[in-house]
Homo-oligomer: A and B are copies of this chain.
Amino acid sequence: MKWEDNVRKVVPYVAGEQPKEKNVIKLNTNECPYPPAPGVNEVLVNMDCKEFRKYPDPDVTELREVLAHRYQVNPEQVFVGVGSDDVLSMAFLTYFNSDKPILFPDITYSFYDVWADLYRIPYEMQKLDENFCIVKEDYLKENGGIIIANPNAPTGLMTPVSVIEEIIQANQDVVVIVDEAYVDFGGESCLPLLKKYDNLLVVQTFSKSRSMAGMRIGFAIGNEKLISYLNDAKFSFNSYTMNMTAIAAGVASVKDDAYFTETVAKVIQTRERVKKELHELGFVFPDSKTNFIFAKHQTVSGQEIFDALRNEKIYVRHWNKPRIEDYLRISIGTDEEMDTMLGFLKSYLAQKQG
């Protein structure tokens, strides 16, 4: 068909499966095992649905204000979107319009190259070293922009903020995005660097540490000028991206900092325990500062363990990609879920090796 000639043909990102069957242990998309803050339920039950007939606040003022207060910035420095994917996608479209390639690691969130392809942004992946660490020097060459996930996914590794700062410092003529989707689980945020650099955009999400993947809320914080360009693009795309329930739920979540702290602490505690047990079972992994562990067994292949877990209705994530094909990305679930997985792995590996 002739009209197909004008179609933008792309290879979409493939997200982790969202199985419809019940009774699975779902450790494949880094969701939080705990529910959102109790206030979220409260605002929804008390919501006046008659109001839905009207458009929501296009500026998402209330949510931007509570976020600004929480992160000690001005509301004009805060941008909100439909999950951090929406925010990052708009950021790519807005900031990465150079003929020079943008730079990001070869092993990282695999949406980066998808967005670059969608918007026809040239890019050059920089190889992580053999320990999955960023080689700082790779980011000191000419480029059209930089994006770094910190902590990185799927490795779980944190790059020291001092190293990120050196990269930003050397790249003040392009926009540097730091994707902090997982930073709440023990990472160190680059937000304090905003005082020094007007070309830095820090992106975070409600999908992990705030247990609201289902409500689709992400945000970016940056210099006011930088954010104003992002707003211009957003308002050229869709005036109202955040629906009324997302705004209300988001506000309720941010207001309950005690619940947030408690939830994150529980995930971290489980993670640290699971690290020890995986180690005892013969797994090796980079030291995760996230809500997942990127683990490889010393003798059994990634595909084999993946298939065995899947057989038990335990979903983890596995990529058939060079350098990481023997790794599994295991999200941190409840203690009970992790015990079920560890129990199975123990008997499976014993049988396998015995």
Contacts and interface: CB of A to CB of B under 8 A. Distances in A.
Contact of A6 (B8, B53, B54, B95): B95
Given A243-B243, A245-B246, A229 B9 contact: yes
A258 interface: no
B9 A31 contact: no
A96 interface: yes
Contacts of A93: 8, 118
Contact of A53 (B3, B47, B58, B211): B211
Given A55-B15, A225-B1, A244 B232 contact: no
A351 interface: no
Nearest to A231: B12
A10 B32 CA distance: 37
Given A6-B175, A7-B95, A241 B86 contact: yes
Interface stretch (A70-78, A132-140, A155-163, A212-220): A212-220
Q: Which of A11, A226, A245 has the most CB of B within 10 A?
A: A245
A353 interface: no
A238 B199 contact: no
A213 B54 contact: yes
Q: How many copies does the complex hold?
A: 2
A182 B264 CA distance: 46
20 contacts: A3-B174, A3-B198, A4-B225, A6-B144, A9-B229, A11-B236, A15-B58, A15-B240, A18-B55, A33-B53, A44-B47, A51-B214, A53-B214, A54-B214, A55-B214, A56-B213, A85-B237, A115-B236, A245-B246, A245-B249
Interface of A: 1-13, 15, 18, 26, 29, 31-36, 40-41, 44-45, 47, 49-58, 82-83, 85-86, 89, 93-98, 114-115, 117-118, 144-145, 172-175, 198-199, 207, 211-216, 225-226, 229, 231-246, 249
A106 to B, nearest CB: 20
A213 B55 contact: yes
Given A237-B118, A239-B15, A6 B96 contact: yes
Contacts of A34: 53
Contact of A245 (B10, B231, B235, B245): B245
Contacts of A198: 1, 3
Contact of A85 (B233, B240, B244): B240
